[in-house]
Amino acid sequence: MGASSEQTHAMILSGSGAYGAFEVAGMQTIFTGQCASTHYQPLDADIFIGTSVGSINTADRIIPA
């Protein structure tokens, strides 16, 4: 799902250590186009926001190792 000039997509991730691994797996599914919610199109998010472990996961997405 490429963002058009009228749409902005955001990835918002929550905190809590238990959700950290789940978020990573969910992000891999969404960004590779394997998710029915995106009609099997890769999500190209423009904004990444996170709290606690969610901020670590978003930082890893923005600045890959």
Band of pLDDT at residue 33, cut at 50, 70 and 90: very high
Average pLDDT score over residue span 40-61: 87
Tell me 36's DSSP state.
G
pLDDT of 36 reads 92
Task: Tell me the three state secondary structure of residue 42.
Answer: coil
> Is residue 63 classed exposed, middle or buried when 0-12, 13-18 and 19+ CB atoms within 10 A define those classes?
exposed
Parse the chain into domains and list their residue ranges: 10-62
Specify the higher pLDDT residue, 4 or 56. 56
Instruction: Show the 3-state SS of 31-47.
Output: HCCCCHHHCCCCCCCCE
Mean of pLDDT over the chain: 84
Average pLDDT score over residue span 33-37: 92
Give tens-digit pLDDT for 3-31.
556 888 888 888 888 888 888 888 889 99
